[in-house]
């Protein structure tokens, strides 16, 4: 058993509370000053009923070195890229996005809207003009019947499009 005279500061509840909560020192810093194990500081804090700070709270105001910040940035930057992304589908995503910014795609969307006379193909809701309650333009969702990823050759095929209102389009995807 450890001698009681060896760590008199550690046995002082007020001193320990002041170091940890008021001066915002970590248990590691306190243990280095007293030249004892960090676990000893933890045991005495537990014995005195001194609650511990949350991890995020204990890091507030602590300076990180430039090297440490750069390492954090590099890790975060590359964390979800490419195959590491949970939404990875084998590299198809970029192709479908590029298609949607094509001029032919814009023409195709207009053709589909005119084909269905600006009415939802599912419920028949009128998608032309503005909403009566809020005055915002109504928005129709032009939807591919056969997916772009599976059938890239049918991206701008007039027979591969259908017009939905918001709720029908949401129901189709859910």
76-123 confidence digits (pLDDT tens): 877 888 788 887 777 665 666 777 777 888 899 999 999 999 999 999
68 lies in some domain: no
Q: Give 99 or 151, the one with higher predicted confidence.
A: 151
Residue 21: CB partners within 8 Å, gap ≥ 6?
Answer: 50, 53
Do the domain assignments include residue 87?
A: no
What is the pLDDT, as a whole number, of residue 49? 94
H helices of 50-92, where?
55-59, 66-78
**Does 117 map to a domain?**
yes
Choose among 36, 35, 9, 37: nearest CA to 23.
9
Residues 103 and 163 in one domain: yes
- The predicted pLDDT at position 26 comes to 87
Domain membership flag for residue 113: yes
Closest listed residue to residue 161, CA positions, set 147, 174, 142, 148:
142
For residues 43 and 104, state if they share a domain.
no
Q: How far apart are CA 127 and CA 130, in angstroms?
A: 8
Q: Are residues 109 and 53 in the same domain?
A: no
Q: pLDDT tens-digit profile of 27-69?
A: 999 999 999 999 999 999 999 999 998 877 767 777 888 888 8
Q: Is residue 70 part of a domain?
A: no
User: Do residue 51 and residue 101 come from a single domain?
Assistant: no
Both 43 and 99 in a single domain? no
Q: How many CB atoms lie within 10 A of CB 170?
A: 11
User: Within this chain, do residues 48 and 100 fall inside the same structural domain, yes or no?
Assistant: no
Q: How far apart are CA 61 and CA 69, in angstroms?
A: 14
Query: Does 55 share its domain with 112?
Result: no
Residue 1 has a pLDDT of 45
The domain of 28 spans 13-59
Same domain, 42 and 101: no
3-state secondary structure at position 164: strand
**Do both 147 and 100 map to the same domain?**
yes
Residues 55 and 114 occupy one common structural domain: no
CB half-sphere exposure, 93, CA atoms < 13 A: 10
> Do the domain assignments include residue 129?
yes
Query: Does some domain include residue 74?
Result: no
What is the helix, strand, coil percentage profile of the chain, to 5? 50, 5, 45
Residue 77 lies in a domain: no
Confidence of residue 143 (pLDDT cuts 50, 70, 90): very high
The number of folded domains in the chain is 2
Q: How many CB atoms lie within 10 A of CB 33?
A: 12
Shared domain for 38 and 101, answered yes or no, is no
pLDDT of residue 66: 86
């Amino acid at each position: 058993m450890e001698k009681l005279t060896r760590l008199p500061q550690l046995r002082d509840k007020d001193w320990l509370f002041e170091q940890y909560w008021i001066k915002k020192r970590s248990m590691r810093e306190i243990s280095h000053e007293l030249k004892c194990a960090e676990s000893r500081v933890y045991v005495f804090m537990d014995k005195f009923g001194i609650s511990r700070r949350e991890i995020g709270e204990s890091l507030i105001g602590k300076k990180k070195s430039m090297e440490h910040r750069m390492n954090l940035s590099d890790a975060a930057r590359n964390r979800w890229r490419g195959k590491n992304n949970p939404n990875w589908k084998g590299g198809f995503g970029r192709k479908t996005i590029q298609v949607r910014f094509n001029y032919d795609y814009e023409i195709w969307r207009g053709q589909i809207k005119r084909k269905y006379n600006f009415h939802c193909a599912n419920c028949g809701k009128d998608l032309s003009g503005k909403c009566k309650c809020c005055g915002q333009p109504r928005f129709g969702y032009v939807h591919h019947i056969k997916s772009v990823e599976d059938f890239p050759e049918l991206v701008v095929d007039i027979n591969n499009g259908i017009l939905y209102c918001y709720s029908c389009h949401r129901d189709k995807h859910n």
